[in-house]
């Protein structure tokens, strides 16, 4: 089995690569070749099978065709300009997130000749825009309030239509906020959801810019990889024509996140969080979803964590070697 990952240098792409390298298989099949692609050349891990690394701008006409010419059996399309940048640079966001996605899909389509790979596309809860109900169900409409969200929603429509036409076998998965993100604090407005856990666990101070009443939906990086692997191996005849699925998540308030941190790492960790409201971030967060009823995905076997305690435990296992800092 040949696999192609676009966006392989990103956090989720690297974790997916680690998982595939470790298992050597996807579903029932041994991996024979893995192609890692990104706009910057991804790292090439050691593996029991062939790994190629490639860098190019897949939104340049002709580039996507090169990526799929070897007819990978499974394509993970994780490549995207993130929300903030797509908002700041309108042309670049549409070029990468819409044109790039369409070039990729068309590159697969125009191979023809019976080629019909599984194609897993990461969408985002940014396809939803406020106001929405307390819990967003599987039939709620998409009204993105960012260009990134609009581009992801268009990618979903393309994926469903190309799948319906038989050009590939697509599954779109709407990722919730991934928490706890490893690495350094970033400037994303949503960064605090991870920072208030990660920094205290690493013995550093951090700032909470919103009320502890703020509720949001999370899944761990490990769950994100589980979603991708499940989407790549599921019997898609069970999904039907509605190929884009809201993934399961853990809905908690910031206060509940902090309570979980206290249970896992003690009062000393919690004391690292300084509460300092930021009106800009508060305004952003008011437009974000609070909870999802991801019934379709759950009935199809997608699973997230059962609690935020579990999300913290996974961070400690996967990023801190299983050791809760003193």
Stretch that binds a second copy, among 27-35, 153-161, 214-222, 311-319 (CB under 8 A): 153-161
CB of 242 to a second copy, least distance (A): 5
| Cα separation, 135 vs 125, whole angstroms | 13
Q: Is 148 a catalytic residue?
A: yes
Query: Which of positions 25-54 make contact with a second copy (CB under 8 A)?
Result: none
**Minimum CB–partner distance for residue 245 and a second copy (Å):** 12
Q: Which of 81, 153, 171, 229 binds a second copy (CB under 8 A)?
A: 153
By CB under 8 A, which span of 10-18, 57-65, 139-147, 217-225 interacts with a second copy? 139-147
Residue 206 preceded by cis peptide, ω within 30 = no
- Strands 215-219 and 250-253 turn out to be antiparallel
Q: Which of residues 250-309 bind a second copy (CB under 8 A)?
A: none
85 is an interface residue for a second copy by CB under 8 A? no
Sign, Cα dihedral of 111, 112, 115, 116: positive
Nearest distance from C-beta of residue 128 to a second copy, angstroms: 10
Residue from the set 101, 147, 194, 251 that interacts with a second copy by CB under 8 A: 147
238 is a contact residue toward a second copy (CB under 8 A): no
For position 241 contacting a second copy by CB under 8 A, the verdict is yes
Q: Give CA–CA dist 15/175, Å, rounded.
A: 15
- The long-range contacts involving 79-83, CB below 8 angstroms and separated by at least 24 positions, are 79/6, 79/7, 79/10, 79/37, 79/38, 79/39, 80/7, 80/122, 80/148, 80/151, 80/152, 81/148, 82/148, 82/188, 83/124, 83/126, 83/146, 83/148, 83/149, 83/188
Which residue, 166 or 322, is less far from a second copy as judged by CB?
166
3-state secondary structure of 207: strand
310 is a contact residue toward a second copy (CB under 8 A): no
Residue from 53, 143, 236, 253 in contact with a second copy (CB under 8 A): 143
DSSP state of 167: S
Site of interaction with a second copy (CB under 8 A): 90, 129, 138-145, 147, 150, 153-154, 157-158, 160-161, 164-165, 241-242
């Amino acid at each position: 089995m040949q696999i192609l990952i676009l966006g392989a240098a990103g956090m989720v792409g690297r974790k997916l690569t680690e998982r595939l390298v470790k298992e050597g298989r996807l579903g029932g099949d041994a991996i024979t070749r893995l192609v890692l692609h990104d706009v910057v050349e991804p790292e090439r891990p050691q593996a029991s099978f062939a790994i190629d690394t490639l860098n190019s701008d897949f939104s340049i006409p002709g580039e996507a065709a090169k990526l799929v010419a070897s007819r990978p059996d499974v394509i993970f399309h994780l490549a995207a300009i993130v929300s903030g940048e797509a908002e700041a640079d309108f042309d670049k966001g549409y070029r990468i997130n819409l044109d790039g996605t369409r070039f990729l899909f068309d590159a697969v389509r125009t191979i023809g000749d019976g080629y019909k790979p599984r194609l897993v596309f990461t969408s985002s809860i940014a396809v939803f825009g406020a106001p929405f109900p307390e819990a967003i169900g599987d039939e709620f409409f998409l009204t993105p309030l960012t260009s990134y969200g609009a581009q992801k929603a268009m990618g979903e429509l393309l994926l469903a239509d190309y799948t319906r036409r038989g050009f590939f076998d697509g599954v779109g998965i709407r990722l919730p906020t991934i928490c706890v993100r490893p690495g350094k604090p970033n400037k994303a407005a949503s960064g605090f959801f991870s920072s208030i856990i990660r920094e205290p666990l690493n013995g550093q101070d951090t700032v909470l810019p919103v009320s502890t009443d703020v509720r949001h939906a999370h899944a761990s990086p490990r769950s994100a990889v589980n979603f991708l692997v499940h989407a790549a191996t599921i019997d898609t005849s069970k999904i039907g024509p509605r190929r884009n699925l809201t993934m399961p998540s853990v809905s908690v308030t910031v206060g509940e996140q902090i309570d979980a941190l206290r249970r896992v790492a003690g009062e000393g960790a919690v004391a690292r969080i300084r509460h300092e409201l930021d009106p800009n971030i508060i305004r952003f967060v008011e437009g974000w979803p609070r909870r999802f009823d991801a019934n379709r995905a759950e009935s199809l076997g997608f699973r997230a964590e059962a609690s935020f305690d579990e999300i913290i435990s996974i961070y400690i296992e996967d990023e801190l070697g299983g050791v809760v800092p003193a």
